[in-house]
Amino acid sequence: MNGRIPGDVVEALCGAVGHVVVNWAFVEVAVDTCIATIYQNAGGKHIEREIPSAIGRKVKFLRRCIKQIGALSLYRTEGDQLLNRVNAVKDTRHMLVHGCVTGYERENHAFTFAKMDTINNRTRHKLNPSKFTAQQILDDGTECQTLARDLTRFSQRLFEAFPSEDELNNGPSTIGG
Residue ranges of domains in the chain: 7-99+135-170
Per residue, what are the HEC states of 53-105?
Answer: CCHHHHHHHHHHHHHHCHHHHHHHHHHHHHHHHHHHHHHHHHHHHHCEEEEEE
30-34, 53-57, 116-120: segment of lowest average pLDDT: 116-120
pTM: 0.87
Evaluate if residue 168 carries a pLDDT over 60.
no
pLDDT of res. 114: 96
Taken in order 54, 56, 62, 68, is the CA torsion positive or negative?
A: negative
Q: How many Å apart are CA 144 and CA 59, to the nearest integer?
A: 15
The predicted structure's pLDDT at residue 172? 57
Work out the pLDDT band at 164, boundaries 50, 70, 90: confident
Contact 101, 13 (CB under 8 A): yes
Q: Taking 90 as the threshold, does the pLDDT of residue 116 lie above it? A: yes
CA end-to-end distance (rounded Å), the chain? 54
Q: Mean pLDDT for the chain?
A: 91
In the chain, % of residues over pLDDT 90 = 84
Could you give the CA distance from residue 167 to residue 88 in angstroms, rounded to a whole number?
A: 34
167 — pLDDT class (breaks 50, 70, 90): low
What pLDDT, on a 0 to 100 scale, did the predictor assign at position 88?
A: 97
Nearest alpha-carbon partner for 60 in 92, 38, 41, 40: 38
